[in-house]
């Protein structure tokens, strides 16, 4: 019978701690935006306000990060666009939908695979309580 070593190395532990810290900061900022605006607005408005909240809290982010689409070794002129990459570590997708669907999770998983990042958050601002609109996705 094969046994597996489930020990986490120090660099892995540091990355996990960093992911945890950053994701808590993202969620805290999202809750603040939701508290100020409530549900029912456009995704672009929540994205803009979340970016403002990141700036207020000195959180580094890239907005609408483009990722090339490669089809049969040919780069297409169109690009994937990731809503936010926070601290070069966590992909954050903003939604304003009735419910987070499997297709939203699949989209985020694709982005994680393409970027080599491990953790993503879907933030659905169309929730009565922001905590009910958060989905954590790990590759």
Neighbours of 106 (CB within 10 A): 11
Residue 37 lies in a domain: yes
State the sign of the Cα–Cα–Cα–Cα dihedral 36, 39, 41, 45.
positive
Domains: count for the chain: 1
| CA pair distance 67, 93, nearest whole angstrom | 14
| Residue span of the structural domain in which 23 resides | 10-138
Residue 2: the pLDDT is 47
Return the pLDDT at 104.
95
For residue 43, what are its two tokens?
Answer: 């995704």
Query: Between β-strands 61-71 and 134-138, what pairing exists: parallel, antiparallel or unpaired?
Result: unpaired
Give 15-68 pLDDT, tens digit per residue.
Answer: 788 889 999 999 999 999 999 999 999 999 999 999 999 999 999 999 999 999
- Residue 5 domain-assigned (yes or no): no
79-127 pLDDT, tens digit each: 999 999 999 999 999 999 999 999 999 999 999 999 999 999 999 999 9
Q: Is residue 53 in some structural domain?
A: yes
- Report the helix count and the strand count for the chain, using DSSP H and E: 3, 5
Task: Identify whether 93 is part of a domain.
Answer: yes
């Amino acid at each position: 019978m094969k046994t597996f070593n489930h020990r986490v190395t120090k660099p892995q532990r540091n990355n996990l701690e960093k992911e945890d810290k950053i994701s808590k900061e993202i969620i805290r900022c999202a809750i603040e935006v939701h508290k100020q605006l409530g549900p029912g607005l456009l995704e672009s408005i929540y994205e803009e306000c979340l970016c403002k909240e990141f700036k207020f809290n000195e959180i580094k982010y890239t907005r609408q990060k483009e990722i090339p689409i490669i089809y049969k070794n040919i780069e297409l002129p169109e690009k994937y666009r990731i809503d936010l990459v926070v601290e070069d570590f966590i992909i954050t997708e903003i939604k304003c939908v009735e419910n987070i669907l499997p297709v939203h999770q699949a989209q985020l998983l694709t982005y994680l695979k393409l970027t080599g990042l491990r953790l993503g958050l879907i933030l659905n601002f169309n929730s009565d309580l922001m905590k009910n609109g958060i989905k954590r996705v790990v590759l």
